[in-house]
Amino acid sequence: MGWLSRIRRAGRIAEPAPAVPDPVMPPPTGVRRSLQLRHVDAGSCNGCEIEIGAAFGPVYDAERYGARLVASPRHADALLVTGVVTRNMEQPLRNTLAAVPEPKMVIAVGDCARNCGVFAGGHGVVGSVRDVVGADVEVPGCPPRPEQIVEALRSVTGR
């Protein structure tokens, strides 16, 4: 029973929940406290992916606020897009958004997704997420801290 005692020793490591941020918009499906997300890397350096991973890890635990990462856009309410939109990923991003059932929304994570960041003007870059598919919520930072990502998600789930 080594693992049981290890669990007991670790205890609860999640950060205490900060105050609920002001809602930016209601969850797209109209169901509060629930947001199913499909993550799309449109051309990121993977810095934002690491922070998203941390946001859904045991310390920041975004799932306690109702946000969940799912395996297919068919199961999702929203897309979580990171990185600049590159030429190769432009059509797949559009296809993925088309595959999300209505009503839906787009959350752009990181400076690259907001305004192309340091890659602005690069030869393989089509534009920011806002330019290509539009963004409903944007999270600034290069990369954004997990707290910021969690806060942005909470501003949609309202929890």
Partner 1 sequence: MNPDLDARTDPRERSGVPATGPAAGKADIATASSGSRPVPPRPSAVASGAATVAVGAAGLAAGVAALTGATRPIRLDALVPLLGIQLHLTPLGGLFAVLIGAVAIPVGIYTVGYARAERLPRGALGMLPVFVAAMLLVPAADSVGTFLVAWELMAISSLVLVLADHRRTAVRAAGAFYAVLTHLGFIAILLALVLLAAAAGTGDFGGIAAAGPGLPTGTRSAVFLLALAGFGSKAGLLPLHAWLPRAHPEAPSPVSALMSAAMVALGCYGLLRIGVQLLGPGPRWWGLTLLALGAVSALFGVLSASVATDLKRLLAYSTTENMGLVAVGLGVAMTLGSSGRHDVAAIATTAALLHLLAHAAFKALGFLSAGAVLAGTGLRDLDRLGGLARRMPATAVLFGVAALGASGLPLGAGFVSEWLLLQGLIHSPVPGDQVLALAVPLTVGAVALTTGLGVVTMVKAFGVAFLARPRSAAAADARPAPVSMLAGMALAAAGCLVLAVAPVAVGPALAGAAGELPLGVVRLEPVLLRLPGAAGTVAPAVLGAGMLLLVLLSVLIGRRGSRQRPAAVTVPLWACGADQLSPRMQYTATSFAEPLQRVFDGVLRPDTDVQIDRPAGSPYQIERAVYRTRQVDSVERQLYRPVLHWVRALAGWVRRAHTGSVHLYLAYGGLGLLVVLVLGLVVAR
* Site residues (vs partner 1, CB under 8 A): 40, 72-74, 91-93, 95-96, 98-99
Helix (H) or strand (E) holding 95: helix 87-99
Q: Rounded to the nearest whole angstrom, what is the least distance from the CB of residue 93 to partner 1 in the complex?
A: 7
Q: Rounded to the nearest whole angstrom, what is the least distance from the CB of residue 123 to partner 1 in the complex?
A: 21
Q: Rounded to the nearest whole angstrom, what is the least distance from the CB of residue 56 to partner 1 in the complex?
A: 21
User: CB-based burial of residue 29 (10 Å sphere; 0-12 exposed, 13-18 middle, 19+ buried)?
Assistant: middle
Q: Rounded to the nearest whole angstrom, what is the least distance from the CB of residue 98 to partner 1 in the complex?
A: 7
Closer CB to partner 1, 62 or 108, in the complex:
108
Q: Which residues contact 99 (CB under 8 A, 6 or more apart)?
A: 72, 73, 74
Closer CB to partner 1, 97 or 156, in the complex:
97
Q: Which amino acid, 61?
A: D
Cα(18)–Cα(50) distance, rounded to whole angstroms?
Answer: 22
Closer CB to partner 1, 73 or 110, in the complex:
73
Q: What angle do CA 127, 128, 130 make, to 5 degrees?
A: 120
Closer CB to partner 1, 18 or 92, in the complex:
92
Cα(126)–Cα(46) distance, rounded to whole angstroms?
Answer: 18
